[in-house]
Amino acid sequence: MKKQRFENLVLLACQESCPCVDVTDGVISAVSAVIHRNAKYDRTYTWMGAASAAIAACILVATTFFWQSSTDSVSEIMTYVSWVTQ
């Protein structure tokens, strides 16, 4: 588009007045409908995230317990070996 034509369009746009239409109610109802429609999915994702976090916490506790029990055995053996060497 040529620069002169663009400037003419800008001048015409500046001369126009705003329409006297109130669209507030329609916009608010559309936004609230979208929010309520997405709320179901948000709750689903929240519960899935909570369940995943609980399962991960259980796995972490079990892993920590088994890791400590295996290192305790090694620690006992090392204590016994050091006692024998003295």
What is the pLDDT, as a whole number, of residue 49? 94
Q: CA 71, CA 7: separation in Å to the nearest integer?
A: 79
Alpha helices in the chain (DSSP H): 3-15, 24-85
Q: Is residue 56 part of a domain?
A: yes
Q: Is residue 60 part of a domain?
A: yes
Q: Is residue 76 part of a domain?
A: yes
Q: Which residues span the domain enclosing 40?
A: 25-85
| C-alpha separations of 32 from 23, 37, 40 in Å | 14, 8, 13
Report the domain count for the chain: 1
Predicted confidence (pLDDT) per residue in 12-25, tens digit = 888 888 778 888 88
What is the pLDDT, as a whole number, of residue 77? 76
With a cut of 70, list the residues of the chain below it in pLDDT: 1, 36-41, 70-72, 86
